[in-house]
Structure 1
Amino acid sequence: MTLDPRLHAYRPDLADRVLEGRVLAERFVDARPAVIAVPVADLHGAPSREAGIDTQFLLGEPVRVFEVAKGWAWVQGVRDGYVGYVPGSALSFDTEPAPTHRVTALRTWLFPEPELKKPPLAALSIGAQVAIAGEEVHRGTRYAMLADGTALPAVHVAPVGKHAPDFVAVAERFLETPYLWGGASGFGVDCSGLVQLSMRMAGTEVPRDTDMQEASIGEAVEVGVGRSGLRRGDLVFWKGHVGIMVDDTRLLHANGSTMSVALEPLADAIARIEPHYGQPTSFRRP
């Protein structure tokens, strides 16, 4: 297998122990387990806030840590294997207790106590994971309680093993969410981040980037004249872009034209994208 620096942790000076014998590096290290301890952690391609955002990890997400130096941690996501740099302050090496629930609302508030009139401590994204220690009801509102006494609206979380039945319905909830290159949260997404996070909430883990998704998700779909034969849930790929069919004619996608997650006729999207990136490269059915 060809090594991909997006998915394999190796540099000339340091590499993941599991790659010993496959890459050249001055030293090899065993990864340390950690979890993301902030609502959203940007993963950069270099240890600098000026470096581009490649993807994002969410609260409670497990990572493998190879190095912490000068305020930055070189990590690999456990879920999708993506490698990059996050601020060291975004990590916790205390991996207990394990998450019991995850946020199912597109966005929600973390309150200092079970009281919706209190100023929230943070906003959490769909997909964030938390360990719920109990439940309280205050003035008719149910709260999921964390061990430190902070609280989330109970209606906004679900057990980690409970999945949405339809990833397209999850994706549709992102309509008008701002576009963000590298975004993979309810606060902002890019095209492949929308596919990955929506499918994750429906119980299917897929790779992060469009080329990885096109090479691995589902099966190719043969389309007829006028792109006939497509149906809800099919994925349309261009070079560097992907969208989700919500029915046989309309496409939902995070895009830089509207700078949002938008719904439009597939024919309109193809006509607009063609001068810049050409025709679709494939159609796939998960």
Structure 2
Amino acid sequence: MQVARPVVDLLRRPGGPRDRQLVYGDCVEILESSGDWQRVKSDKDAYEGWLPATALELAEAPTHWVCAPSTHIYAEPDIKSADRVSLSFGSRVTALVQNERFVETPLGHIPRQHLKPAGERFTDPVAVAALFLGTPYLWGGNSRCGIDCSGLVQAAMLACGHSCPGDSGDQVRAVGEALPSGTAPRRGDLLFWKGHVAWVADPETILHANAHHMATAYEPLKAAVDRIENQGDGPVTSHKRL
């Protein structure tokens, strides 16, 4: 099955709190059903949780994925036609017809500039993360509507063809090579704190989705390290390199 909504919460239990999110076209395996709810495992990261049964439909083979922060789905191949729905970065769609400007899908028409063919990837995860600048911070968020620190890392990693868990606690164990304390940071490194993760944009700057800015934002590295430790969340616990 695949997700049939632009964004859907992956819940800890039916009607419970959000742990993560899935976006349109994400494929899942159904593990269990309970009334109007289904417990699923996400194909992209093996994350498990509960979704409303109405949020799923039969999976189709995707031909493209949304590579812009978000896109509109138009009723006609015309930017002045009605927009039916918006999809977030990473959503997967199936093309029916293509022309120079639009790709027609079962949902409607998507500008070609906002899509990449299935299998085509980015090469710079930090550049991908920067697409989310200004996105509101949302605990457990995985979309342009709202994203958290680990969601930002996962979106960038998957877009570059790297496997990546959904939570920072799993990411610190699974992603990259640990570097000795005092190693000079460089672009593309990951810095981990207890319960937080950030991209290194350059040796003096990080890029992260964070509750201090309540958004995805750049922040001076030293200022961030000092702020996070001073607010009681401790020092950097791991420095990883892809």
> By the TM > 0.5 criterion, same fold?
yes
User: Could you say which TM-score interval applies, normalised by the shorter chain?
Assistant: over 0.9
Letter in 2 for 1:143: F
In the alignment, is the contact (CA less than 8 A) between 1:199 and 1:205 conserved in 2?
yes
Correspondence for 2:81 among 118, 122, 128: 118
Which residue is 1:150 aligned to? 108
**1:47 aligned onto 2:14:** yes
In the alignment, is the contact (CA less than 8 A) between 1:40 and 1:185 conserved in 2?
yes
Correspondence for 2:224 among 269, 273, 277: 269
Which residue is 1:9 aligned to? none
Which residue is 2:235 aligned to? 279
**Equivalents in 2 of 1:59, 1:271: separation in Å?**
38
Deviations 1:48-92 (A, max 9, x none): 0xx221111111111011233332111110110001011111101
Aligned residue for 2:228, secondary structure, equals helix
Long gaps (5+) in structure 1: 1-33
**1:160 aligned onto 2:118:** yes
Aligned residue for 1:109, secondary structure, equals strand
Change (3 A) 1:83 1:149: closer
**1:130 aligned onto 2:93:** yes
Which residue is 1:90 aligned to? 55
Which residue is 1:180 aligned to? 138
Which residue is 1:252 aligned to? 207
Which residue is 2:189 aligned to? 234
Correspondence for 2:44 among 56, 79, 82: 79
Answer 1 or 2: higher relative contact order, Cα 8 Å, separation at least 6. 2
Structure 1 residue 149: Cα displacement: 7.0
In the alignment, is the contact (CA less than 8 A) between 2:187 and 2:201 conserved in 1?
yes
Long gaps (5+) in structure 2: none
Letter in 1 for 2:131: R
Which residue is 1:15 aligned to? none
Q: Alignment length, in residue pairs?
A: 241
**Equivalents in 2 of 1:114, 1:70: separation in Å?**
40
Q: CA RMSD in A?
A: 1.3
TM-score (norm 1): 0.81
Identity of aligned residues (%): 41
**Equivalents in 1 of 2:176, 2:146: separation in Å?**
26
Letter in 2 for 1:252: L
Which residue is 1:169 aligned to? 127
